[in-house]
């Protein structure tokens, strides 16, 4: 069952990745417009794999908690909350002790790219927000008080035309705004052009202020002609994970379709940024651009070695000195972990089986949800037998 769910998630995230394995990773120095050729080229590029991060202390990973089918994690000061694809939330103590928090599986649809897709703890430390597909298959954002989690407030519902690319990541900005990654609604190549259309919530990063008293996700800017009131950035295919860095910029891991996986750093104060889909897949020209001038991805890698879906992501500030201040991401199908330092992409010499979330645990260290092994901790010191 677990393998079947993982494979279904992989195919849903990455679209047609199984058919395109004829290219390889981008060189490590990326991120300036001069580094990218956006001329029309439907063939997958060929590049060497991103190099290993050298002079790194030996690392290992071990299971903290065996949470079956875990797909997303949120962390508070005291513990982690792990959501399963089927709609169950489990609390994980720093020592690995677990206890049940919430079961909304009866109102959660699964299959393809559906299920409980992400969760986040609100700045008040008392509220848990969940992004999932409800029983009717539409994307729904709900808020749950941790002292009474079965009571919820529905903040947002988005009609979905297809069971693919239904959700994405959740992240709170330092000022309390909530950002939400929403996929393009599925269909190979985004046939309805949702990503290119900022008037729709699909294929976008939404930004709003949560008001639990009124049950609203309120816009945080004045209306802009041609934009949905909540759309903050557009041109996304499947922003499965988003996160903020220490400098206040938003990092977006957008899952590619045929060739490229991309991670893009967005100015945290800039509204209306275009990330290019479906005119571009990363830096690679995919369709007609119609005069669009998207921002460049910060880093990208291609599918030659079986890569299929970028899994973000977090900024690391823990005990592994060589990784401090870098962004840590993974790839679902290869299990590779990567470190992003400005525009440099390096492979971390630790491999997992099927990572679906990379986060910081309550101990300040890297915790990764691996669908084959539960919650795993990355450490420079092997656990005591």
pLDDT at 15 over 80: no
User: How much is the average pLDDT of 290-297?
Assistant: 92
Is 180 a member of any domain?
Answer: yes
Is 40 a member of any domain?
Answer: yes
State how many domains the chain has. Answer: 1
Is 214 a member of any domain?
Answer: yes
Distance of alpha carbon 204 from alpha carbon 237, whole angstroms: 8
Is 385 a member of any domain?
Answer: no
Contact 243, 312 (CB under 8 A): yes
**Residue 49 confidence (pLDDT):** 64
Contact 211, 218 (CB under 8 A): yes
Q: In what order do the strands lie in the sheet with 241-244?
A: 241-244, 250-254, 260-266, 299-302
270-279 residue pLDDT tens: 999 999 999 9
pLDDT at 44 over 80: no
Percentage of residues in the chain with pLDDT exceeding 70?
85
pLDDT at 327 over 90: yes
Contact 72, 83 (CB under 8 A): yes
Distance of alpha carbon 291 from alpha carbon 81, whole angstroms: 43
Distance of alpha carbon 254 from alpha carbon 10, whole angstroms: 14
User: Whole-number mean pLDDT of the chain?
Assistant: 87
Is 28 a member of any domain?
Answer: yes
Is 384 a member of any domain?
Answer: no
The domain of 161 spans: 2-379
Tokens at 252, concatenated: 């977006």
Phi-psi region of 216 (alpha: psi -120 to 50; beta: other; left: phi over 0): beta
**Residue 142 confidence (pLDDT):** 98
Distance of alpha carbon 379 from alpha carbon 365, whole angstroms: 7
SS (H, E, C) the chain: CHHHHHHHHHHHHHCCHHHCCCCCCCCCECCCHHHCCCCECCCCCCCCCCCECCCCCCCEEEEEECCCCEEEEEECCCCEEEEECCCEEEEECCCCCEEEEEECHHHECCECCECEEEEEECCCCCEEEEEEEECCCCEEEEEEECCCCCCEEEEEEECCCCCCCCCCCEEECCCCCEEEEECCCCCCCCCCCCCCCCCCCCCEEEEEEEECCCCEEEECCCCCCCCCCCEEEECCCCCCEEEECCCCCEEEEECCCCCEEEEEEECCCCCCEECCCCCEECCEECCCCCCCCCCCCCEEEECCCCCCCEEEEEECCCCCHHHCCCEEEEECCCCEEEEEECCEEEEEEEECCCEEEEEECCCCCEEEEECCCEEEEEECCCCCC
Contact 313, 332 (CB under 8 A): no
Is 56 a member of any domain?
Answer: yes
59-69 residue pLDDT tens: 888 888 888 67
When pLDDT is cut at 50, 70 and 90, the band that residue 18 belongs to is: very low
The rounded Cα 256 to chain-centroid distance in angstroms is 12
235-285 residue pLDDT tens: 999 999 999 999 999 999 999 999 999 999 999 989 999 999 999 999 888
Distance of alpha carbon 167 from alpha carbon 150, whole angstroms: 22
* pTM beyond 0.85, yes or no: yes
Contact 333, 17 (CB under 8 A): yes
The CATH code of the domain that includes 99 is 2.120.10.30
For tokens 């259309």, name the residue: 197
Q: Which residue has the higher pLDDT, 312 or 357?
A: 357
Is 280 a member of any domain?
Answer: yes
pLDDT at 184 over 70: yes
């Amino acid at each position: 069952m677990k393998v079947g769910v993982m494979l279904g998630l992989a195919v849903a995230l990455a679209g047609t990745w199984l058919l395109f394995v004829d290219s390889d990773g981008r060189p490590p120095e990326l991120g300036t417009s001069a580094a990218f050729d956006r001329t029309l080229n439907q063939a997958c590029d060929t590049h060497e794999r991103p190099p290993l991060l050298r002079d790194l202390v030996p690392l290992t990973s071990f299971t903290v908690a065996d949470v079956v089918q875990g797909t997303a994690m949120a962390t508070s000061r005291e513990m982690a909350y792990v959501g399963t694809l089927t709609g169950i939330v489990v609390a994980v103590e720093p020592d690995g002790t677990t206890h049940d928090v919430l079961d909304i599986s009866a109102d959660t649809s699964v299959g393809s790219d559906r299920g409980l897709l992400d969760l986040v703890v609100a700045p008040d430390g008392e509220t848990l927000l969940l992004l999932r597909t409800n029983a009717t298959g539409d994307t729904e954002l709900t808020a749950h008080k941790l002292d009474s989690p079965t009571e919820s407030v529905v903040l947002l519902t988005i009609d979905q035309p297809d069971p693919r690319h239904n959700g994405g990541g959740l992240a709170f900005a330092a000022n309390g705004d909530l950002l939400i990654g929403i996929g393009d609604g599925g269909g190979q190549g985004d046939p309805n052009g949702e990503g290119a259309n900022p008037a729709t919530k699909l294929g976008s990063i939404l930004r709003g202020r949560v008001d639990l008293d009124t049950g609203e996700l309120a816009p945080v800017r004045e209306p802009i002609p041609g934009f949905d009131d909540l759309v903050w950035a557009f041109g996304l295919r499947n922003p499965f994970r988003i996160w903020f860095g220490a400098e206040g910029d938003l990092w977006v891991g957008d899952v590619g379709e045929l060739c490229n996986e991309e991670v893009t750093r967005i100015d945290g104060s800039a509204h209306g940024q275009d990330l290019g889909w479906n005119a571009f897949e990363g830096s690679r020209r995919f369709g007609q651009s119609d005069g669009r001038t998207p921002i460049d991805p910060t880093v990208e890698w291609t599918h030659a070695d079986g890569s299929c879906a970028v899994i973000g992501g977090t900024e690391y500030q823990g005990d592994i000195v060589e990784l401090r201040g870098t962004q840590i991401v993974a790839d679902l199908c290869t299990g590779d972990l990567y470190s992003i330092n400005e525009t440099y992409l390096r492979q971390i010499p630790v491999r997992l089986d099927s990572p679906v979330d990379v986060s910081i645990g309550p101990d300040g260290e890297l915790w990764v949800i691996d669908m084959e092994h539960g919650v795993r901790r990355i450490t420079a010191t092997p656990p005591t037998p």
